[in-house]
Structure 1
Amino acid sequence: MKKYLLILAVVCCFFKIQAQTAQDTLDIKRVALAYIESQHNPNPKLMEGALHPRMVKRSVFRSKAAKKDYISEYFAENMVILAETYNVKGDKFPKNPRKEIKLLDVSAKTASVKLLADTWIDYMHIVKTNGEWKIINVLWQYNDVSQHD
């Protein structure tokens, strides 16, 4: 009986982090990949399609002059421009860039995703609106936290 309960608990935990449908899981991963791949190969349309119009991307940096932390913010429009301009020369990423996506939690209308890229980590909140999954929040940091100083 204990073995049966343990198996049931493991199965329940497994399904808790899965999307409502297999298609939701694919769509969530597709949106997260579009976000990073639109930076690898400049593609503002791909970025725009992945983002909710009210998306905000934040990180914490340290002002050397003021010697205090501040929050940087970028919005959907900034990210579309970034996708168009950031890697135009093709020198911002390695030949085979890292793009590891981990689904942290998925519900019917919301998902939390961790994206591990080459030099940074993005934590994303992805929301399902009007039948489509879109990134609404991103909290990120460099792997090398000294880059935040």
Structure 2
Amino acid sequence: MKYSIILTISFVFLFAVNVSAQSQKDSLAIKQAALDYIESQHNAKPTQFERSAHPRMVKRTFWTDKKTGKEYLRETFRDAMILLAETYNKDGSRFPKNPKKEVVILDIYDKTASIKLIADDWIDYMHIVKLNGKWQIVNVLWQLNDSKDH
């Protein structure tokens, strides 16, 4: 009986510590970083992307070489993503009228977070870090919904 009570109190204490490590403000800022990332492409607003991404952000995916059929890892950096945000949907034809942009927070621990962004044609897994009071994306791993299109 004593063991059960101690275990219950320990569990409650550990749960309370984890919950207090994140605030509603942090959750909203993390979600906003992910939304700025995708909405910058929807709206062709590179400054919106810039505020969401740390200067050393890296985005990766797998790709298939058409000649050899071998898969390899492709990397894109923040500067290229800023240009993409400016040009990718400039004519407004790349996304549906009401594009999908579902943000799922997978985990938050103190100053780091993992999220999943579900868009129309792909998903992004992101690592977001809080530096100097600001949440910014540092890593993105993405894939198209149909991996054969890579």
TM-score, reference length from structure 1: 0.88
Aligned match of 2:68 in 53, 66, 69? 66
Residue 112 (structure 2) aligns with: 110
Is 2:38 the partner of 1:36? yes
Alignment partner of 2:148: what SS?
Answer: helix
Greater Cα offset, 66-75 or 49-58: 66-75
Q: 1-side partners of 2:121 and 2:143: how far apart?
A: 9
Mapping of residues 62-101 of structure 1, within 5 Å: 62-101=64-103
Residue 25 (structure 2) aligns with: 23
- CA-atom RMSD, angstroms? 2.2
Name structure 1 gaps, 5 residues minimum: none
Deviations 1:31-88 (A, max 9, x none): 0000000000000000001000000000001112122111111000011000000000
Q: Which has the higher contact order (CA 8 A, sep 6+)?
A: 1
Aligned residues: 143
Contact 1:32 1:101 in 2 (8 A): yes
Question: 1:101/1:72 Cα in 2 relative to 1: closer, same or farther (>3 Å)?
Answer: same
Q: 1-side partners of 2:19 and 2:106: how far apart?
A: 6
Q: 2-side partners of 1:85 and 1:19: how far apart?
A: 39
Amino acid at match of 1:53: P
Q: 1-side partners of 2:30 and 2:84: how far apart?
A: 21
User: Structure 1 residue runs of 4+, over 3 Å off?
Assistant: 15-19
Alignment partner of 1:47: what SS?
Answer: helix
Shift of 1:18: 8.2
Residue 143 (structure 1) aligns with: 145
Shift of 1:16: 4.7
Q: Which has the larger radius of gyration?
A: 2
Contact 1:125 1:137 in 2 (8 A): yes
Amino acid at match of 1:87: N
